[in-house]
Amino acid sequence: MVEVFTPTACRQLSQMFLAIVFFHSSEYLLAVAFHGRPNVTLASLLISKHYLFAMIFSLLEYVVEVLLLPELKEHWWISYLGLALVIIGEMVRKLAIITAGIAFTHLIRTRRDEHHELVTHGIYRYMRHPGYSGFFIWSVGTQIMLCNPFSTIGFAIVVWRFFYQRIPYEEFFLRRFFGARYDEYAQRVSSGVPFVS
């Protein structure tokens, strides 16, 4: 009988668990640090029904493939590439949050408040939406780390499509808030999400 929880499977599942726990707990703690506990809800953990469905699907794919095609999970270089992407995505996103500080929110602002500044320094000098870019890299990286071919493709499509719709909506308000300054910034700096202008 094949041992299901090989050392590779234990390592990959442990890394996935740690990646998810660190991502969401740090999102919440940074939101509390910048906006204060009374202004932060559990929505700051960024866990939705769609997100839970995607994660459950990815774990089901992992288990089925471990049982039927265990050799698929033994490509250590693919798994470590995924781990590297998880770390890079995490760093890009957290750098975006820390750089923007109080200007970073998990919900799109539809009204400008007195503290809302146009952030164009630090990582924002290189991409307009590093938080989205970081999440895109992180989420796809989790699936590469698990050597999940179907979820890798699925996450890439679904997350990209989400940002493809969200970025123009958010930038509509940014243009209203900052006018020509934002137009000039958007013309010289890419969005940070592939094929989203």
Which domains are seen in the chain, by residue range? 7-188 (1.20.120.1630)
Interatomic CA distance for residues 126 and 54, integer angstroms: 30
pLDDT at res. 113: 82
68: its two tokens:
């039927």
* Tokens 């020509």 -> residue: 180
50 secondary structure, DSSP code? H
Is the whole model's pTM more than 0.85, yes or no?
yes
pLDDT at 1 over 50: no
pLDDT at res. 59: 96
Interatomic CA distance for residues 101 and 111, integer angstroms: 18
- Taking residue 152's Cβ as centre, other Cβ atoms within 10 Å add up to 22
Q: Are 149 and 75 in contact (CB under 8 A)?
A: no
Give per-residue pLDDT as tens, 132-166.
999 999 999 999 999 999 999 999 999 999 999 99
User: What's the one-letter identity of residue 42?
Assistant: L
